[in-house]
Amino acid sequence: MPQRLPDTSTGTSADTAELPEPEPESPHAERLQELLAGLNEPQREAVTHGEGPLLILAGAGSGKTRVLTHRVAFLIYTEQARASEILAITFTNKAAEEMRGRVERLLSRGTRGMWLMTFHAACARILRAEAERLGYTRRFTIYDQADARRLIRRCIDELGIDPKRFTPAAIHSQISAAKNQLHAASDYREAAGSQFEELVADAYERYERELLRMNAMDFDDLLFRAVNVLELYEEVRSRYARAFRHVLVDEYQDTNHAQYRLLQLLVGGGRAPVRGERVQLEGHRNLAVVGDDSQSIYGFRCADIRNILDFRDDFPDARVIKLEQNYRSTQTILRAANAVITNNRGGIAKRLWSELGDGSPVHVRELEDEHAEARFVVGEIERLVDEDPTHPAHAEIAVLYRTNAMSRVIEDALVRREIAYQVIGGTKFYERAEIRDAIAYLSWLANPFDVVSFTRVANSPRRGLGQTSLARIVAHSATTGISVWEAAAAPAEIPGLGAAAVKSLTRFACTMAELAQLVEQRLPVGDLLEAVLSRTGYLEALEAETRGAAEKVIEAQGRIENLDQLVEVAREFDAAASEDDDSLDVFLQQLALVADADSRREDDGLVTLMTLHNAKGLEYPIVFIAGCEDGVFPHSRALDEGALEEERRLFYVGVTRTKRELYLTYARQRSVFGSPTYSLRSRFLDEIPAELTDCEEELVLSRAAPRARAAPRARAGTAAWTGHGRPGGWADSRAPDAPPGRAFRMGEDVVHAAFGEGVVTSVEPGGVIVVRFAGDGSERKLMAEHAPVRRVRSG
């Protein structure tokens, strides 16, 4: 918020570069000594770097967060920056919280005023202050993935696009990618080469119009619009650029183009101008980025690894510091990780080393199926906790997996053995229907144009306002240009609305008008939320269910509990928040950007379960990685898309979470979508030198022929044919490192020697693609490798 931005008009006098060595009599001298003690040489160099660009290449476990937090403290102690002049960006809320806590401990005081948050949160904050310049109000709504997808679905319905042929998800991911490259709808249209891309352009244009009309932004817009506003208004850009005298970015390898551009706008610098691109900006260039190209795992979110690889092109004078000493893992684990990652090409050479000794070998286990795997993991956890000489606590153990769906079986096994655990991520608190309903009520109160929230809430609880009535209300608001709120307030004006619907809507609008009064009166959001839940009849409807049919009772009770929890969250917010005029907006913004309420707890005697992606940045003495099978990890879809190297980096991330004991397990058989699938052990397992593992038979065989053991199992995989009509299983998709050009993607235009032109409507495991042909409209499954089919060059 601009009013909170410090006045930095006073120039830069004493607080510039030259003070790595503190004056002995400086008031902070003692604290500075303390701060720098215990850092190794390169770490200290990074922490005490003065002004100007800084690239820290930080291998896994090399004390990256330590360097960042200490650097922030250093900047403040040496008075190179005040708290409010620091912008420190992380990728996840979890990381931001972690960092805030550690900085507070270092400074032994609060960090208020410091912008320590995710990219998205920082952008949202900038936009709440500046969005009016772009035609939004400051109370704009943030649509999450699900909301955005609903809206896209409506757009493509209205365009008459067959949602079977082009799914909302496929179109959304195209639009999302475009936004992350800072391509507006018009840019996308210009570049569109295929029929599919033309359709996406139509959808994109409409979607954008709708978002603006609804005064709403999706996640990608937060970045895109923030960049827009900084590019369009030099005065805004320079204000923020001056305000943030030091910008620090964690996980820089995961930045995408929009994020990259945002940073350039804030600090100046940038690559040589590309045609049509405005680069080369004035600025203080106090940008410190930390990252590890080997841990880049967000390519699917348009992360561009070149941002870190080319940092020195952007800032030729950048100081580059490598952190290569690992303080986390045993030598064995590091060797295993390094051995795997060397199979990737390119990247920045690093020599990670550790003084922690060899430790145990990597434990590799083959199990019959996912249930046996889960039992093994749980049994081993019990054994370690009871028998291991180090007596690890449950909290020191993490179980990692590739996809959220895999947690279930492991959870079951843990429950059976009565071991307490926590799942990070997965089914998120805020994705539950009742929570989303409650939030939608609040969103519509805050933003009367928010059609998505209105349609979610209007008939929940049941008020007899079905699809047809809702469509009429929305259409009326669109044609007359009034907000849905206003449209709903005057039901009689809406053409075609039935008498019953008019009556019902009148009542509903009245209730909402009353609640809007409460918003006007600045009721604390906790109280407001309670009022919403009771006056709209939402809670009542749920309570009615607890007295109804037996099966639904438990569920309804759970929902009520969840809502109580949300009220609790709101009350905590009220307690913490200052007396803001717009607390409802701030609260909603916070909810939109914080993924899960039940966040990670420590020292709680809980085993932790999470996806490999969620594990980034964390460490555990004991780590299990389950599902090390080709097709699962590396994921079959990643293989199809030629993203093997990214999967390998993900594996690297998983392995390097481990301090001491690493378990890699795989199952010969696993149920996928309810039907049994046979698979081979992950190729990544074979990339670990056998002498580092405890699987002795493997040692002999895999030296001779790495796939020797796998081969017979490939034949065992013949059962896949008898199994459940998934011919080939993963075995065929195994064509190692297939050139990325080979893989077909959904929506691509292709031409077949016999059937003519068509479009890829789905990509299946085993190199099978489904193509719908324009000629006769037929849909056929083809083996991508062998069928006489090729991609039509778009354009």
Partner DNA sequence: ATCCTGATTTTTTTT
Partner DNA sequence: AAATCAGGAT
- Show which residues are catalytic: 64-65, 250-251, 295, 657
Task: Tell me: does residue 464 bind DNA (CB under 7 A).
Answer: yes
* Identified binder of DNA from the candidate list 509, 593, 623, 625, rule CB under 7 A: 593
* Identified binder of DNA from the candidate list 333, 398, 445, 501, rule CB under 7 A: 501
Q: Restricting to residues 728-747, which ones interact with DNA according to CB under 7 A?
A: none
- CA pair distance 109, 77, nearest whole angstrom: 12
Order of strands across the sheet with 246-249?
115-118, 86-90, 246-249, 287-291, 54-58, 319-323
Given the complex with DNA, which of 300 and 353 has the nearer CB atom? 300
Task: Tell me: does residue 423 bind DNA (CB under 7 A).
Answer: no
Given the complex with DNA, which of 52 and 299 has the nearer CB atom? 299
How distant is the alpha carbon of residue 513 from its chain centre? 36
Task: Tell me: does residue 635 bind DNA (CB under 7 A).
Answer: yes
Sign of CA dihedral 170, 171, 174, 176: negative
- CA pair distance 765, 705, nearest whole angstrom: 26
| CA angle, residues 208, 115, 260, in degrees to nearest 5 | 50
* Identified binder of DNA from the candidate list 43, 62, 92, 656, rule CB under 7 A: 92
Q: How far is the CB of 441 from DNA (least distance, A)?
A: 18
Given the complex with DNA, which of 73 and 763 has the nearer CB atom? 763
Stretch that binds DNA, among 15-23, 25-33, 63-71, 496-504 (CB under 7 A): 496-504
In sequence order, what E strands does 544-657 have?
A: 607-611, 620-625
Task: Tell me: does residue 547 bind DNA (CB under 7 A).
Answer: no
| Residues in Cβ contact with 50 at an 8 Å cutoff, skipping those fewer than 6 apart | 16, 17, 18, 19, 20, 80
Task: Tell me: does residue 240 bind DNA (CB under 7 A).
Answer: no
Task: Tell me: does residue 674 bind DNA (CB under 7 A).
Answer: yes
631 DSSP assignment:
B
| Residues in Cβ contact with 497 at an 8 Å cutoff, skipping those fewer than 6 apart | 469, 472, 473, 491, 505
Which residues face 57 on adjacent strands?
A: 291, 322
Q: How far is the CB of 743 from DNA (least distance, A)?
A: 11
- CA pair distance 42, 491, nearest whole angstrom: 68
Task: Tell me: does residue 261 bind DNA (CB under 7 A).
Answer: no
Task: Tell me: does residue 648 bind DNA (CB under 7 A).
Answer: no
- CA pair distance 114, 103, nearest whole angstrom: 10
- CA pair distance 663, 658, nearest whole angstrom: 10
| CA angle, residues 252, 603, 327, in degrees to nearest 5 | 45
Size of the site for DNA (CB under 7 A): 51
Buried b (16+ CB within 10 A) or exposed e, 245-271: bbbbbbbbbbbbbbbbbbbbbbbbbbe
CB-count burial class (<10 Å; 0-12, 13-18, 19+) for 563: buried
Given the complex with DNA, which of 500 and 735 has the nearer CB atom? 500
For residue 669, the surrounding DSSP H or E stretch is strand 658-672
Question: In the structure encoding, which two tokens stand for residue 103, read together?
Answer: 């900085």
**What are the Cα distances from residue 690, in Å, to 313, 342, 357, 367, 650?**
40, 16, 18, 19, 21
Given the complex with DNA, which of 17 and 433 has the nearer CB atom? 433
* Identified binder of DNA from the candidate list 109, 391, 462, 742, rule CB under 7 A: 462
Task: Tell me: does residue 595 bind DNA (CB under 7 A).
Answer: yes
Given the complex with DNA, which of 335 and 683 has the nearer CB atom? 683
Stretch that binds DNA, among 60-68, 274-282, 456-464, 473-481 (CB under 7 A): 456-464
Given the complex with DNA, which of 167 and 669 has the nearer CB atom? 167
Stretch that binds DNA, among 266-274, 294-302, 690-698, 781-789 (CB under 7 A): 294-302
- 525 in Cβ contact with 584 (< 8 Å): yes
Q: How far is the CB of 537 from DNA (least distance, A)?
A: 13
DSSP alpha helix (H) spans, 604-737: 636-640, 644-655, 683-686, 696-704, 710-716, 719-724
Task: Tell me: does residue 224 bind DNA (CB under 7 A).
Answer: no
CA atoms within 13 A on the CB side of 450: 26
DSSP alpha helix (H) spans, 621-694: 636-640, 644-655, 683-686
- CA pair distance 430, 436, nearest whole angstrom: 6
- CA pair distance 124, 101, nearest whole angstrom: 22
Given the complex with DNA, which of 301 and 319 has the nearer CB atom? 301
Given the complex with DNA, which of 33 and 675 has the nearer CB atom? 675
Task: Tell me: does residue 295 bind DNA (CB under 7 A).
Answer: no
Stretch that binds DNA, among 89-97, 129-137, 181-189, 523-531 (CB under 7 A): 89-97
Q: Restricting to residues 389-408, which ones interact with DNA according to CB under 7 A?
A: 402-405
* Identified binder of DNA from the candidate list 194, 213, 242, 300, rule CB under 7 A: 300
* Identified binder of DNA from the candidate list 78, 80, 167, 228, rule CB under 7 A: 167
Task: Tell me: does residue 467 bind DNA (CB under 7 A).
Answer: yes
Given the complex with DNA, which of 75 and 290 has the nearer CB atom? 290
Task: Tell me: does residue 637 bind DNA (CB under 7 A).
Answer: yes
Q: How far is the CB of 467 from DNA (least distance, A)?
A: 5
Binding mask 93-112 for DNA (x = CB under 7 A): xx------------------
- CA pair distance 281, 611, nearest whole angstrom: 40
Q: How far is the CB of 369 from DNA (least distance, A)?
A: 12
Residue 620 one-letter amino acid: Y
Task: Tell me: does residue 683 bind DNA (CB under 7 A).
Answer: no
Residues belonging to the chain: 795
Given the complex with DNA, which of 29 and 146 has the nearer CB atom? 146
Stretch that binds DNA, among 183-191, 351-359, 607-615, 714-722 (CB under 7 A): 607-615
Stretch that binds DNA, among 127-135, 376-384, 567-575, 637-645 (CB under 7 A): 637-645
Stretch that binds DNA, among 70-78, 284-292, 632-640, 712-720 (CB under 7 A): 632-640
Given the complex with DNA, which of 94 and 206 has the nearer CB atom? 94
Q: How far is the CB of 48 from DNA (least distance, A)?
A: 30
Q: How far is the CB of 786 from DNA (least distance, A)?
A: 24
| CA angle, residues 527, 528, 529, in degrees to nearest 5 | 90
Task: Tell me: does residue 465 bind DNA (CB under 7 A).
Answer: yes
Phi, psi of 503 (to 5 degrees): -60, -50
Task: Tell me: does residue 505 bind DNA (CB under 7 A).
Answer: no
In this structure, the dihedral spanned by the alpha carbons of residues 72, 78, 84 and 85, taken in order and rounded to 10 degrees, is: -90
Task: Tell me: does residue 463 bind DNA (CB under 7 A).
Answer: yes
Task: Tell me: does residue 91 bind DNA (CB under 7 A).
Answer: yes
Binding mask 118-147 for DNA (x = CB under 7 A): xxxx----------------------xx--
Question: In the structure encoding, which two tokens stand for residue 453, read together?
Answer: 């929230």
Task: Tell me: does residue 219 bind DNA (CB under 7 A).
Answer: yes
Given the complex with DNA, which of 328 and 472 has the nearer CB atom? 472
* Identified binder of DNA from the candidate list 488, 528, 667, 672, rule CB under 7 A: 672
Task: Tell me: does residue 166 bind DNA (CB under 7 A).
Answer: no
Task: Tell me: does residue 667 bind DNA (CB under 7 A).
Answer: no
Task: Tell me: does residue 550 bind DNA (CB under 7 A).
Answer: no
Of the candidates 310, 306, 300, the one whose C-alpha atom is nearest the C-alpha of residue 646 is: 300
- CA pair distance 297, 615, nearest whole angstrom: 11
Instruction: Please give the residue ranges that form the binding site for DNA (CB under 7 A).
Output: 91-94, 118-121, 144-145, 163-164, 167, 169, 219-220, 297-298, 300-301, 402-405, 425, 459, 462-469, 498, 500-501, 593, 595, 611, 613-614, 635, 637-638, 641, 643, 671-674
